[in-house]
Each structure stands twice: as C-alpha cells, then as structure tokens.
C-alpha cells in the first residue's frame, strides 16, 4: 500500500525553475486535487509524473520502486489526459477510441465506454462534427475503456479534465474516477475548483502549488 511518492522533485522549463523540492505522497484508492495559479507548474508536474518531461532533480517512486528503473513499465501504468483532445476529425468516435485501445493493448470493447459518457449515439459520427464538450467526453471515454480492461492503467493523470463539460458530464467523470479509486487506483487531477472537486471530495486530498515553486498540503 505505498502508492506514488515524489522526493524533492524539481522541474526546469527552458531556463526557469517551475517547481523545486516537491514532496508528494498519494495512497492507492486516493485522489490528489492539484490547484495553483496559472503558471504555477500544474501541467509540468503532470507531464513529469507521466514521464513525458524529465525532472531536473529528485525522483518518483511507485510501490517503493524508482520509476526511472523501468520507464516502459511506468508508461504502461499511466493514463494521461492533457489539454488537447487527441482525436482525428476524419475518424468516427468508435474508430478514434478503438485505435487508442488497440495501440495500448486494451480490451477494444468500445460501446460501454461511449455509454459511460452518454455519447453512444455518436459512435459512427466523425469527430469533426463534435462540439468541444463532446470531444472532451470522447477523450475521457479512453479512461473508461482502460477501466473496463483487465490490466488497465493504475495511475490517472488528469490535467483539468472538466474543461468544457456540462454538469451532467462532470458527474459521469466523477463516477468514473470514483470507480477507479474503489479499484485501488490513483488519480491526480489538476483543477481550479468546481463541481468535480465536491463530488470526489470524500476520497481526495488537496495540494496547492505556489508560484515560488514549492507547495502546501491542505
């Protein structure tokens, strides 16, 4: 029951220190709600935790083992939702979702995942006709697809996942996250507050990144 731990984690972007000496600890079955002003380094922290960005100093442990010892294994346990929706406009919702599922070696049962975010009626519609909110729902359905697979990712890194979602969709997202947490998964969610935080508050800790580069636990 060790979960994810960071020790004195630092990140430098360009020539600027985004954050330094960051110590975090998230137990399995818990979510971390990450807040902080624009430019405080929430997205950079997400990308460092995903292994997309190298850290300048410090290290990250998963279940007691340094992730740099086996980067491939770490990548396999990460589900990452960034700012953009990685969808091809020419492909239908099903095709988009199936491509990512197959590439990640997940169970390509697409319909339940679409159903989880109430976009099953758009299954055969090319993504170019989707509204911004619908695109976000389809992107989030990747999480559901991973969840329904036998060996889905255990570490969810969600960078402002509720952007553009209506209240109904926020509840769907909250339910998906809660199901992941009951499964002993971990979720780190960057947020500017809102309904999603309230819905998962029971299982979430808070952390605020300061612009000076360190943070306070709340």
Partner 1 sequence: MIGLILLVKRELGLALRGGTDAVMAVVFFVLAAVLFPFGVGADPAMLPRIGGGIIWVVALLAAMLSLERMFSSDHEDGSLDLLYLSPVGLGTLALAKALAHWLTTGVLLLIAAPILALLYNLPASAFGALIVSMLLGTPILSLVGGIGAALTLGARRGGVLLALLILPLYIPVLIFGAGAIDGAVAGRPIGPQLMVLSGFLLAALALAPWATAAALRQAIE
Partner 2 sequence: MFHRFANPARFSRIAARVLPWSAAATIALFVIGIYFALFASPADFQQGETVRIMYVHVPSAWISMACYTFIAVMSAVALIWKHPLADIAARSAAPLGAGFTLIVLITGSLWGKPTWGTWWVWDARLTSVLVLFFLYLGHIALTNAFDNPQRGARAAAVLALVGFVNIPIIKFSVNWWNTLHQPASVTRLDAPAIDPAILTPLLLMALAFTFYFLTMLLVRMRADLNATRARALRLSAAE
Interacting residues of 79 by C-beta distance below 8 A, sequence separation 6+: 142, 143, 146, 152, 153, 155, 156, 157
Binds partner 2 (CB under 8 A): choice among 1, 15, 83, 202 = 15
Q: Does 170 bind partner 2 (CB under 8 A)?
A: no
Binds partner 2 (CB under 8 A): choice among 14, 64, 193, 218 = 14
- As measured in angstroms, the least distance from the Cβ of 55 to partner 2 is 12
> Is the four-CA dihedral 144, 148, 153, 154 of positive or negative sign?
positive
Single out the residue of 67, 31, 40, 55 nearest to residue 143, CA to CA. Answer: 31
* φ and ψ at residue 161, rounded to 5 degrees: -70, -20
Separation of alpha carbons 67 and 6, rounded Å = 10
Site for partner 2 in 49-88 (CB under 8 A): 56
Q: Does 54 bind partner 1 (CB under 8 A)?
A: yes
- Please choose, out of 15-23, 119-127, 138-146, 193-201, the segment that lies near partner 2 by the rule CB under 8 A: 15-23
CB atoms within 10 A of CB 148: 16
DSSP 4-66: EEEEEEEEEETTEEEEEEEEEEE-TT-EEEEEE-TTSSHHHHHHHHHTSS--SEEEEEETTEE
Binds partner 1 (CB under 8 A): choice among 53, 125, 178, 179 = 53
> Is the four-CA dihedral 12, 13, 14, 17 of positive or negative sign?
negative
- As measured in angstroms, the least distance from the Cβ of 195 to partner 1 is 24
C-alpha 139 chain-centroid distance: 11
Q: Does 16 bind partner 2 (CB under 8 A)?
A: yes
- Please choose, out of 14-22, 90-98, 127-135, 180-188, the segment that lies near partner 2 by the rule CB under 8 A: 14-22
Q: Which is nearer to partner 1, 158 or 204 (CB)?
A: 158
Site for partner 1 in 69-128 (CB under 8 A): 72, 75-76, 78, 80, 82-91, 95, 99-100, 102-105
Q: Which is nearer to partner 2, 18 or 49 (CB)?
A: 18
Q: Does 52 bind partner 1 (CB under 8 A)?
A: yes
Separation of alpha carbons 104 and 187, rounded Å = 19
- As measured in angstroms, the least distance from the Cβ of 105 to partner 1 is 6
Which residues contact partner 2 by CB under 8 A?
Answer: 12-17, 20, 56, 211-212
């Amino acid at each position: 029951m060790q979960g994810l731990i960071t020790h004195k984690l630092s990140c430098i972007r360009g020539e600027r220190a985004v954050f330094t000496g960051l110590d975090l600890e998230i137990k399995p079955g818990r979510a971390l709600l990450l807040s902080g002003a624009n430019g405080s380094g929430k997205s950079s922290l997400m990308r460092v935790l995903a292994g997309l960005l190298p850290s300048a100093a410090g290290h990250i442990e998963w279940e007691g083992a340094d992730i740099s010892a086996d980067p491939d294994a770490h990548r396999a346990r990460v589900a990452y939702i960034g700012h953009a929706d990685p969808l091809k406009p020419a492909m239908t919702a099903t095709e988009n979702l199936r491509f990512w599922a197959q590439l990640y070696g997940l169970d390509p049962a697409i319909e339940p995942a679409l159903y989880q975010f109430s976009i099953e009626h758009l299954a055969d519609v090319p993504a170019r006709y989707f509204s911004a909110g619908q695109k976000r729902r389809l992107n989030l359905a990747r999480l559901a697809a991973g969840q329904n697979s036998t060996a889905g990712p255990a570490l969810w890194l969600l960078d402002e996942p509720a952007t553009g979602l209506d209240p109904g969709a926020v509840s769907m997202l909250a339910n998906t996250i809660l199901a992941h947490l009951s499964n002993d998964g971990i979720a780190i969610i960057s947020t500017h507050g809102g309904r999603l935080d309230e819905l998962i508050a029971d299982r979430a800790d808070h952390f605020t990144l300061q612009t000076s580069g360190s943070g306070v636990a709340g």
